[in-house]
Amino acid sequence: MKECPICGSSKIKRDVRDTIFEYKGKKITIKQPGFYCDECGEAFYNSEDIKSTKKELADFKRKVDNLLTCKEIRRIRKKLGLTQKDASLLFGGGIRAFYKYESGEINQTKPVDLLLRLLDRGKIKIEDLLEISQEKGFTG
């Protein structure tokens, strides 16, 4: 990108800058790579720029919504001895659901979040969940 499409300035440069994002009245400052125009102050992000901060922004929103973070979901899934595919089949949401939860692509539902928290705290056992799931034909 050589020229700013907003102001026409040729003072666009690649940089990493502190950028403030707001969600439900809460704010976070992240280091956001992108192209920045020093003339008008506009910022431009390509898909790699967005991908580089996707998980950080997803976790920020999850914390605001009182949901488990990507890292917490992964930790619990591994603690339960489940692959992403097995967890997706067991908890629902589609074959790639846990990949999407752990990568920050989508948020888990509140019921899935609560179930993971209960399993993590030992309030219910994964063996019981697997047994019921198999009895009812919920998994493959």
pLDDT tens digits, one per residue of 67-117: 999 999 999 999 999 999 999 999 988 889 999 999 999 999 999 999 999
140 within a domain of the structure (yes/no): no
22 within a domain of the structure (yes/no): yes
**Band of pLDDT at residue 138, cut at 50, 70 and 90:** low
- What's the CA gap between 47 and 41, in Å, rounded? 20
- What's the CA gap between 95 and 80, in Å, rounded? 18
> Which CATH number belongs to the domain containing residue 80 in this structure?
1.10.260.40
17 within a domain of the structure (yes/no): yes
131 within a domain of the structure (yes/no): yes
Number of structural domains found in the chain: 2
Residues 1-35: tens digit of each pLDDT: 578 999 998 889 999 999 999 999 999 999 999 99
pTM, two decimal places: 0.81
The CA-based angle 110-114-118, given to 5 degrees, is 170
Could you tell me which residues come within 8 angstroms of residue 22 by beta carbon, excluding any fewer than 6 positions away?
Answer: none
Query: DSSP code of 8?
Result: -
Boundaries of domain holding 16:
12-53
91 within a domain of the structure (yes/no): yes
